[in-house]
Structure 1
Amino acid sequence: MAAPPARILIVDDDADMLRLLALRLSAAGYAVVAAESAEAALAQLDLVHPQLVLSDVRLPGRDGLALFDEVRARHPALPVILLTAHGNIPDAVEATARGVFTYLTKPYDGKELLGKVAQALALSAPCAPQAQANEDWRAGIVSRSSRMHDLLTEAYMVAQSDASVLLLGDSGSGKEMLARAIHRASPRARRPFVAINCAAIPEALLESELFGHVKGAFTGAQGPSKGLFQAAEGGTLLLDEIGDMPPALQVKLLRVLQERALRPLGAVKSIPINVRIVSATHHDLESALATAQFREDLYYRLNVVTLVLPPLAERREDIALLANHFLDQLARKYDKRLSGFAPEALKALALAAWPGNVRQLYNVVEQVCALSTTPLVPLPLVQRALRTPSTPVLSLAQARQRFERDYLVGLLRMTDGNVTDAARLAQRNRTEFYRLLQRHALAPENFKNDPADDDTVAAGRQD
């Protein structure tokens, strides 16, 4: 059964704008609830349970910023997008710093609006539970991205055969988890799954670890020991980081794969084995072949089917799902009552670089889970875990532009929007000063404090 459409609460006192927004969002497949004031929107909030609020900044009575504050107090995880005229951009920027998901200026671009709406809904969407029993084979692999869907479809097909599989992908991208999923989907699912990291064990011990040894095979061998090939009998053996296997051991592994039998260290007789091999690496094995660091014959033995895991940065639509999934798991582990991430915190996660991929995301979520003192994980904790500055680092050009705009805003506020006085204080002529105001989309009338002027502006404004 298809999921119900996302419900969006739109707020604007301009009836024509409200109707246009409703038509555009309804045509995009969303369920729309309209309100003409902040008070009407708050009355609807707990009745319709929207997944997103889209509000004009300028509203009669309580404005859009006050509405945002009330929405945040009642429903901290509910994203809010503001629509604003150019003259109200400073207020909108301040609201974004306080937690508004984003703002759009009027007249807005239709594609940009739908893009921001989809992004906000994706970031706030809860992780959907595994609904079907036949999806148990991929339990723990949380994804909605098309790339992962295609990869998992191929992995399930490969699992039905007994072909060797080579998993390629950056460190932390989930290669071992995919190997386990392939094992669970295969006819060998009831037999053992055994994993070994070829880079983590010294060369002198790796042969014994893989193939086992007999008593007295080397100093300290007090008795016989089965290797991991025998431990995985009938099941699947994952050779993780196969690209780091020493060349001498590559020869012995090739012989085992060719003969389907192994001889433990120090033994005389070979032992037949029945094991499926899945190997994984973050190295470029084809480059290793060119430099003779990896045997070509072994490569083709292991590489019957290749599956490539995308880095987390190339499946950003999965970040919010994974973060909420991990938070749910870790909240139970730490016995903490956590309901999710603040919208700005989830946005920071979605935009991060993630060089460490899913493993790094898990570590970040574990850190914020351990340190969070509120039900909703705040932005500063996420920034701390990501080791990112709490304020963005601007380029020199951006810093100059921001300073110039703030300077002009200060002058207009000081002079109550009087351009002649402001230009004189800036030591610029009126024409040049007007050009500066136009460059920064500043309207002097929005800075007039005279009540009569305010009434005039309010009556004639176009939101």
Structure 2
Amino acid sequence: MLNSVIVVDDEASIRSAVEQWLGLSGFAVQPFSRAEDCLAQLPAHFPGVILSDVRMPGMGGLALLEQLQQRDADLPVILLTGHGDVPMAVEAMRNGAYDFLEKPFTPQTLLDSLRRALEKRQLVLENRRLHEQADQKSRLEGTLLGMSAGMQQLRRQVLDLASLPVNVLIRGETGSGKERVARCLHDFGPRAAQPFVALNCAAIPEHLFEAELFGHESGAFTGAQGKRIGKLEYANGGTVFLDEIESMPLAQQAKLLRVLQEQQLERLGANQSISVDLRIIAATKPDLLEEARAGRFREDLAYRLNVAELRLAPLRERREDIPLLFAHFAHTAAERLGRSAPALNAAQLGRLLGQDWPGNVRELANAAERHALGLGEPQPLVATAGQSLAAQQEAFEAQCLRAALARHKGDIKAVMEELQLPRRTLNEKMQRHNLLREDFLDRP
């Protein structure tokens, strides 16, 4: 709350009077008689102002100011001083205090100082929020690569959903990057410091499924030696990623639904329920509701999982991202091997753009690694029917435009000269391929 004030003063009468004045003026006041208690209970990124007496038993106001400055140099601290403490308070302002009020002070003087301090605090926190958003956007662009309209939309959706306490269903073909997107939803959200547990439901034998998810007590079944913590319990406080969720046995779907509804689970062989705080991110290739209508998936669980849905476009629907992704994978592989990746010529690039890539990003990464190793032409492992000439030309044109814009850091005149295009034609092509000059500017 941006009307929050913490009052630290060892005199109960002053605390009471200040709390009353500020309460009548709409402030939320939290009083403390000791500076030590204030420090112990101060939340991170406190959105308000600290109002502290200078002279107190134990830690005084100046020592409190020093501790607060170490935590957050922009946190406004207003000191309350007696007449003899004024030179000391002036020195404290040089060291970071926002203001000082000499006792006795009027309620209006206090209110004026607090309101100015809160305005400053609001600006500081808003500036931090904007910087954090810009930093997250930059980090996400380096993780979910691609400049196509679909990838730009996906990154916006990931940033929006990462901070929300909702389950997410990711739809996409094999190799399209579902686990990477799930990891970003975790890493860019408030659970980032907690466990991220990934499970492929198709890879777990059905007879081991329940023990794998829920754990077991010693002797729960033949071979159950000792207590074992299941994946769901281990992920408490964090995120569980369930890939190929459509493969989960129906009996375990019912147990998972109970965990989602009640936020509790029981180990095999146990009678005691264990509270868990989990975010579930599931991934699937087929439509879960169609699976439910066919009797292969629980409809109630499908709705529980699909609070929000992200669709990952296959590579054939975002061909303009292929050169960037290929270059990234080839560079990464070459760097790991201590060599330079051979450059692509126009014919090789055209062949990359003309493939359908049924294995999507995973298949492209494999082709790029083979190219970095010098194991022949960069092509997919499975040959597929090519696109029409017009579709290949469009994808190649988009890549040429993007490469020129990147080389010249958004300098339109330089791009016009390199590609020998008039301004109007360049503008039309950039608009058709959803290319914005601002995305290529060389920002500090």
The TM-score, its normalising length taken from structure 1, stands at 0.52
- Alpha-carbon distance between aligned partners in 1 of 2:193 and 2:218, rounded to the nearest angstrom: 31
1:265 corresponds to: 268
**Range moving further from structure 2, 136-145 or 357-366:** 136-145
Aligned partner letter, 1:336? R
**Counterpart AA for 2:135:** A
CA distance in 1, matches of 2:144, 2:342: 21
Q: Which residue of 2 aligns with 1:456?
A: none
Question: What do residues 31-73 of structure 1 show as CA deviations (whole Å, max 9, x unaligned)?
Answer: xxxxxxxxxxxxxxxxxxxxxxxxxxxxxxxxxxxxxxxxxxx
Matches within 5 A, 1:359-370: 359-370=362-373
User: Mapping of 1:260-339 within 5 angstroms?
Assistant: 260-339=263-342
Structure-1 separation of matches of 2:316 and 2:227: 47
1:387 offset after TM fit, Å? 4.9
Pairwise CA distance, 1:140: 2.4
What secondary structure, in the 3-state scheme, does the structure 2 residue paired with 1:258 have?
Answer: helix
Separation in 2, partners of 1:270, 1:340: 59
**Residue 371 of structure 1, CA deviation:** 3.2
Asked if the contact 2:171–2:284 (Cα under 8 Å) also holds between the matched residues in 1, the reply is yes
Q: Which residue of 2 aligns with 1:229?
A: 232
Mapped pair 1:174 → 2:170:
no
Following TM superposition, by how much is the alpha carbon of 1:318 offset from its aligned partner in structure 2, in angstroms?
Answer: 0.4
Distance 1:216 1:262 in 2: 18
Contact 1:263 1:269 in 2 (8 A): yes
Residue 139 of structure 2 corresponds to 136
Matching of residues 41-190 of structure 1 within 5 Å = 133-134=135-136, 135-137=138-140, 139-190=142-193
CA–CA distance in 1 between the matches of 2:142 and 2:302?
Answer: 30
Cα displacement (A) at 1:386: 3.8
User: Which residue, 382, 392, 395 being the options, matches 2:378?
Assistant: 382
Q: How far apart, CA to CA, are the structure 2 residues paired with 1:310 and 1:260? A: 33
The aligned amino acid for 1:133 is: D
CA-based RMSD of the aligned residues comes to: 1.9
Secondary structure at 1:277 match in 2: strand
Provide the C-alpha distance between the structure 1 equivalents of 2:341 and 2:372, rounded to a whole number of angstroms: 8
Residue 382 of structure 1: how far off its partner (Å): 2.0
Q: Deviations over 1:109-157 (max 9, x none)?
A: xxxxxxxxxxxxxxxxxxxxxx963232454211100111112211211
User: Per-residue CA shift, 1:428-449, capped at 9, x if unaligned?
Assistant: xxxxxxxxxxxxxxxxxxxxxx
Aligned residue for 1:341?
344
| Deviation of the 1:339 alpha carbon | 4.5
Higher relative contact order (CA 8 A, sep 6+): 1
Indicate how the Cα distance of structure 1 residues 132 and 350 shifts in structure 2: closer, same or farther if over 3 A, else same.
farther
Find the aligned partners of 1:298 and 1:196 in 2 and give their Cα distance. 17
* 2:203 match: secondary structure: coil
Deviation string 1:293-347 (CA, Å, 9 cap, x unpaired) is 1111101110100111111100111000000000111112222222432222122
Does the CA contact (< 8 Å) of 1:211 and 1:230 recur in 2?
Answer: yes
| 3-state SS, counterpart of residue 154 of structure 1 | helix
SS of match in other structure, 1:239: strand
In the TM superposition, what is the alpha-carbon distance from 1:158 to its structure 2 partner?
A: 1.2
CA distance 1:170–1:387, change in 2 (3 Å): closer
Distance in 2 (CA, whole Å) between partners of 1:341 and 1:153 is 31
Kindly provide the amino acid, as one letter, of the partner of residue 147 in structure 2. Answer: R
Distance change >3 Å, CA 144–CA 138, structure 1 → 2: closer
Of all paired residues, the percent bearing the same amino acid is 46
1:218 counterpart (221, 239, 260):
221
Which consecutive residues of structure 1, in runs of 5 or more, have no partner in the other structure? 1-130, 373-379, 393-463
The CA distance in 2 between the partners of 1:208 and 1:251, in whole Å, is 15
Q: Which residue number corresponds to residue 197 of structure 2?
A: 194
Contact 1:137/1:182 (8 A) holds in 2: no
Deviation at 1:363, TM superposition (A): 1.3
Give matches, 1:10-21, under 5 Å.
Answer: none
Q: Aligned partner of 1:223: which letter?
A: G
Cα gap change, 1:174 to 1:342, in 2 (>3 Å)? same
Match of 1:209 in 2: 212
Question: Is 2:350 the counterpart of 1:350?
Answer: no
Return closer, same or farther for 1:330/1:132 CA change in 2, 3 Å cut-off.
farther
Report the alpha carbon displacement of residue 388 of structure 1 after superposing the two structures with TM.
Answer: 4.5
Task: Give yes or no for contact 1:139–1:181 (8 Å, CA) kept in 2.
Answer: no
Q: Contact (CA 8 Å) 2:144, 2:155: kept in 1 or not?
A: no
Partner-residue secondary structure (3-state), 1:340: coil
In the alignment, the residues of structure 2 paired with residue 275 and residue 387 of structure 1 have an alpha-carbon distance, to the nearest angstrom, of: 39
Aligned-partner Cα distance in 1 for 2:149–2:220: 51
Cα distance change, pair 137–231 in 1 and its aligned pair in 2 (3 A): farther
Which residue of the partner structure matches residue 250 of structure 1?
253
Letter matched to residue 189 of structure 2: S
Q: How far apart, CA to CA, are the structure 1 residues paired with 2:254 and 2:344? A: 51
Q: 1: distance between equivalents of 2:148 and 2:196?
A: 27
User: How many pairs were matched up?
Assistant: 252
Contact 1:138 1:181 in 2 (8 A): no
Taking the aligned partners of 1:190 and 1:137, their CA distance within structure 2 comes to 17
* Alignment match of 1:371 (pick from 364, 369, 374): 374
Pairwise mapping of residues 418-457 of structure 1 onto structure 2 (< 5 A)?
none
Task: Flag structure 2 segments of 5+ consecutive residues without an equivalent.
Answer: 1-132, 387-444
Whole-angstrom distance in 2 between the partners of 1:162 and 1:138: 23
TM-score, L = length of structure 2: 0.54
> What CA distance in whole angstroms lies between the structure 2 residues aligned with 1:354 and 1:232?
34
Contact 2:340 2:372 in 1 (8 A): no
Amino acid across the alignment from 1:350: L
